[in-house]
Amino acid sequence: MDDNEKLEASKKLPKDVAEPNPDLDEIDKTNESISEPESEEPVSDEEIEQIIAQYDRESNTRHFAGVPKTIVRYICVAFALFGLGINIGRIDIFGLIELNMLLPPQVHRSLFVGLLIFMAFLVYPAKRKNNIKVNYIPWYDFILAIAGTTAFLYHALRFDTIARQMAVFTQLDIIMALIGIVVLFVICYRVVGWPVLVVVALFIGYAYFGVHIPGRFGHAGYRWERIVTFLFYTTEGVIGTPTMVASTFIFVFIMFAAFLVQTGVGAFFIDIANAITGRSVGGPAKMVVIASALQGTICGSSVANTVASGSLTIPLMKRLGYEKNFAGAVEAASSTGGQVMPPVMGAATFLMAEITGIPFRQIALAATIPTLLYFTCVLASIHFEAKKIGLRGMPEDEIPKFWPLMRSRGHLLLPIFSIVFFLAQGFTPTRSAFFAILTAIIVSSIRKDTRMSPKKFVNAMETGVRNVIGVGIACAMAGMIVGVVVLTGLGLTFANSMIALAGNIANDTWRMFLVLFCTMVASLLLGLGVPTTAKYVIVATVTAPILTRYPIGLPILVAHMFVLYFGTDADITPPVGLAGYAAAAISRGEPIRTCVIATRLAAAGYIIPFFFAFNPQMLLIDAYWWEVLWVTVSALAGIIFVAAGLSGYFIWRMRWWERLMIIGAGLALIDYGVITYAVAVALVLGVVASQKVRSKLERTIAV
Tell me, letter by letter, the H, E, C secondary structure of 611-664: HHHHCHHHHCCCCCHHHHHHHHHHHHHHHHHHHHHHHCECCCECCHHHHHHHHH
Lowest mean pLDDT among 128-132, 508-512, 605-609, 619-623: 128-132
Lowest mean pLDDT among 386-400, 543-557, 574-588: 386-400
- pLDDT, tens digit, for every residue of 273-293? 778 877 777 777 787 788 777
What would the mean pLDDT of 219-245 be, rounded to a whole number? 90
Residue 140 maps to a domain = yes
Residue 54 binned pLDDT confidence (cut-offs 50, 70, 90): low
DSSP three-state, residue 29:
coil
What would the mean pLDDT of 513-518 be, rounded to a whole number? 84
How high is the pLDDT of residue 672?
66
How high is the pLDDT of residue 301?
67
Lowest mean pLDDT among 100-109, 201-210, 415-424: 100-109
What would the mean pLDDT of 325-353 be, rounded to a whole number? 80
- In the DSSP assignment, the letter for residue 249 is I
Contacts within 8 Å (CB) and 24+ apart, 210-217: 210/488, 216/493, 216/496, 216/497, 217/490, 217/493, 217/494, 217/497
Reported as type and span, the H/E element at residue 356 is: helix 348-356
What percentage of the chain reaches a pLDDT higher than 70? 84
What would the mean pLDDT of 604-611 be, rounded to a whole number? 84
Buried b / exposed e over 680-690, threshold 16 CB at 10 Å, is beebbeebeeb
Residue 14 binned pLDDT confidence (cut-offs 50, 70, 90): very low
- Higher pLDDT residue, 626 or 231? 231
Chain-centroid distance, C-alpha 403:
31
What percentage of the chain reaches a pLDDT higher than 90? 14
Rounded-to-integer distance, Cα 532 and Cα 68, Å: 32
Residue 190 binned pLDDT confidence (cut-offs 50, 70, 90): confident
What would the mean pLDDT of 422-432 be, rounded to a whole number? 80
Residue 468 maps to a domain = no
How high is the pLDDT of residue 409?
84
How high is the pLDDT of residue 4?
44
Residue 138 maps to a domain = yes
How high is the pLDDT of residue 135?
83
Give the helix, strand, coil percentages of the chain, each rounded to 5: 75, 0, 25
Calculate helix-pair angle for 251-262, 265-277, nearest 10 degrees.
70
How high is the pLDDT of residue 47?
59
CB 340 within 8 A of CB 564: yes
How high is the pLDDT of residue 57?
58
CB 344 within 8 A of CB 432: no
Residue 504 binned pLDDT confidence (cut-offs 50, 70, 90): low
How high is the pLDDT of residue 550?
64
Is 419 a residue whose pLDDT tops 50? yes
How high is the pLDDT of residue 155?
92
- Higher pLDDT residue, 535 or 404? 404
- In the DSSP assignment, the letter for residue 580 is H
Is 6 a residue whose pLDDT tops 60? no
How high is the pLDDT of residue 346?
67
Rounded-to-integer distance, Cα 94 and Cα 97, Å: 7
Residue 97 maps to a domain = yes
How high is the pLDDT of residue 134?
81
HEC readout, 437-478: HHHHHHHHCCCHHHCCCHHHHHHHHHHHHHHHHHHHHHHHHH
DSSP string, 101-149: ----HHHHHHHHHHHHHHHHHHH--SSGGGGGSBT---HHHHHHHHHHH
How high is the pLDDT of residue 209?
92
Report H helices in 166-298: 171-191, 194-209, 224-233, 241-245, 251-262, 265-277, 283-296
- pLDDT, tens digit, for every residue of 150-173? 999 999 988 888 878 777 889 999
Q: Which domain holds residue 137?
A: 47-244
- Among the listed residues 550, 544, 548, the one whose alpha carbon sits nearest the alpha carbon of residue 500: 550
- pLDDT, tens digit, for every residue of 555-598? 999 999 998 888 888 888 887 777 888 888 888 888 888 988 88
Residue 492 maps to a domain = no
What would the mean pLDDT of 67-80 be, rounded to a whole number? 91
Is 473 a residue whose pLDDT tops 80? yes
- pLDDT, tens digit, for every residue of 29-47? 334 444 444 444 555 555 5
Residue 204 maps to a domain = yes
- Higher pLDDT residue, 335 or 96? 335
Question: Could you tell me which residues are beta bridge partners of residue 98?
Answer: 92
Rounded-to-integer distance, Cα 249 and Cα 693, Å: 58
Residue 699 binned pLDDT confidence (cut-offs 50, 70, 90): low
Is 116 a residue whose pLDDT tops 90? yes
- pLDDT, tens digit, for every residue of 614-640? 888 888 888 788 888 888 888 888 888
- pLDDT, tens digit, for every residue of 134-149? 888 888 999 999 999 9
What would the mean pLDDT of 317-322 be, rounded to a whole number? 75
Contacts of 141 (CB under 8 A, 6+ apart): 121, 122, 126
Is 527 a residue whose pLDDT tops 70? yes
Average pLDDT of the chain to the nearest whole number: 79
How high is the pLDDT of residue 226?
92
Domain count, the chain: 1
- pLDDT, tens digit, for every residue of 478-502? 899 889 988 888 877 877 777 777 6
Residue 604 maps to a domain = no
What would the mean pLDDT of 666-686 be, rounded to a whole number? 82
How high is the pLDDT of residue 506?
58
Question: Could you tell me which residues are beta bridge partners of residue 391?
Answer: 18
How would you classify residue 518: left for phi > 0, otherwise alpha for psi between -120 and 50, otherwise beta? alpha
CB 590 within 8 A of CB 601: no
Residue 374 maps to a domain = no
Which pTM was predicted? 0.76
How high is the pLDDT of residue 62?
82
What would the mean pLDDT of 360-371 be, rounded to a whole number? 87
Rounded-to-integer distance, Cα 131 and Cα 559, Å: 42
